[in-house]
Chain A
Amino acid sequence: MTTATAEQRAGFFNRLANPTRFMGLADAILPWLTGLAAVLLAIGLYMAFFTAPPDYQQGHTVKIMFIHVPFAWLAMMGYAIITVSSIGSLVWRHPMADVAAKTAAPIGACFTFLALVTGMLWGKPMWGTYWVWDARLTSVLILFFLYLGLMAMWQAIEDASRAGRAAAILAIVGSVNLPVIKFSVDWWNTLHQPASVVKLGGPAIHPSILVPLLVMAAAFTCLFFVLHLTAMKTEVLKRRVQALRMTRVDAASGASK
């Protein structure tokens, strides 16, 4: 009875600190999450191509929005995940927080890159230019550089826990960019469209376009977590292989003495 309540009191994140338990949980969740992502993606793409109406000005090119906006939202969410994991790593020394932050960086960088590229492909027909140095595009480009900096930081330091703490400090310093990205279209006169979904007074988009957008966003979120959990599992296994190699080398050198 006492152990049961102690276990309950240990809390969700404390229980996840055990890598084996995390692997078990990830193994249980992943098939369902992959299925959910596939289903939502199928529904979202169907709605985007067939149900959503073309824009009165842009025609069908407006449908790039259904991948561009989710990519952008996920890029920011990825960095938010890294920031929270970094705080968990520095403040609570949570063992899986390092792994979460390290593996989220390349995935987030890809999503940011794809957001920028799909934005550029949308900008050419809509604005007449692939790129403009306005506040939104510049701050997302800075986000991309911050992701690259984090990946470089992980590469540069060999000791995993030191690399984790250094990257955590860097991630927290860079997190000041997130509110700048969100509010850049309000604070500055930008070519990029102002906030239309997450703003005071509710979304300014018609439901026939808003619903496919939210479905695609949910699909992409599931996709992000599938990729992230898989990467975390891989990282844990990599560290186990590394530890086993070390023990083997240690045993060999010990035996040869």
Chain B
Amino acid sequence: MIAAFRTLVARDLRLALREGGAISTALGFYLIVVSILPLGLGPDLNLLARIAPGVLWVALLLAALLSVDRIFHDDHADGTLELIALGPLPLELVAAAKALAHWIAIGVPLTLAAPVLALLLNLPTNAFGALLLTMITGTPAISFLGSIGAALTLGLRRGGLLLALLILPLYVPVLVFGVSAVNAVITGPAPFLPSWAILCAITLATLVLAPLAAAAALRLNLQ
């Protein structure tokens, strides 16, 4: 079963690498949103420094949201998902494997792009480490919560919009604690550790519980 899990993750990563379009779209969208905000808000570097953690996190969420649709979509479209569902791996682990592959293929690159984009927003230099740490621990939650939405809206015609409406309320805790952890390092009397610990707790909980919900939704949509 471990071998089957690894094979599925490796397959998804290979496909993501060969196709390449989704990750470049997500990175491009991330860059564009982070660039457009200062153009709208004005070039005041102090203002940008204050809002930088929030902007970077929100833009990351939106970029990830655009890409979670494809977690199950391609495999469902050509029938591969049904074959995989009939295989040796329980559907919960299938969902977990695909969400994990999504995180490695898209969540990690977005996280690595964040410090580069933080330069555009004049993020204080002592916050770069906290930014990377919170994002690398928060993006798995984003991928796994996204997999629930992707499984629920599988096969729907205008599923993308509905997916955003369903998933964004679930993303709010990740966003709130991620930004508060980074802000704690920049401004604060409030310490970094509590916010970051809660963020890690949320991620760990989603790693376990999200595959259950996603598998239930997949079972519903595959019959």
Contacts and interface: CB of A to CB of B under 8 A. Distances in A.
B213 A169 contact: yes
Nearest to B176: A138
B217 A169 contact: yes
A125 to B, nearest CB: 28
Contact of A153 (B158, B166, B176, B221): B166
Contacts of A180: 173
Contacts of A156: 153, 156, 158-159, 162
A10 interface: no
A191 to B, nearest CB: 16
A23 to B, nearest CB: 28
A142 interface: yes
Contact of B165 (A90, A142, A145, A172): A145
B168 interface: yes
A174 interface: yes
A152 B220 contact: no
Nearest to B149: A170
Contacts of B158: 156
A174 B149 CA distance: 12
A100 interface: no
By DSSP majority rule, is chain A's interface helix, strand, loop, or mixed? helix
Interface in B149-200: 152-153, 156, 158-159, 162, 165-166, 168-170, 172-173, 176
A6 to B, nearest CB: 33
The B contact surface, by secondary structure, is helix
Given A156-B156, A157-B156, A149 B220 contact: no
A148 B217 contact: no
Nearest to B223: A162
The number of chain A residues touching the other chain, given as a range, is 20 to 34
Contact of B220 (A138, A169, A177): A169
Contact of A165 (B148, B165, B170, B220): B220
A166 B168 contact: no
B216 interface: yes
Given A152-B162, A153-B162, A156-B156, A145 B216 contact: no
A165 B156 CA distance: 15
A146 interface: yes
Nearest to A139: B172
A82 to B, nearest CB: 15
Contacts of B176: 138
Contact of A174 (B156, B170, B217): B170
B216 A170 contact: no
Interface string A122-154: 000000000000000010001001101100110
B162 A146 contact: no
Contacts of B221: 162, 166
B165 A152 contact: yes
Contact of B169 (A145, A157, A165, A172): A145
B166 A170 contact: yes
B166 A149 contact: yes
Nearest to A144: B169
22 contacts: A138-B172, A142-B169, A142-B172, A145-B168, A149-B165, A152-B165, A152-B166, A153-B152, A153-B166, A156-B156, A156-B158, A156-B162, A157-B156, A166-B152, A166-B217, A169-B148, A169-B216, A169-B217, A170-B166, A173-B148, A173-B170, A174-B170
The 7 closest A-B pairs by CB, nearest first: A145-B169, A149-B166, A142-B169, A165-B220, A173-B213, A149-B165, A169-B216
Interface of A: 90, 138, 142, 145-146, 148-149, 152-153, 156-157, 162, 165-166, 169-170, 172-174, 177, 180
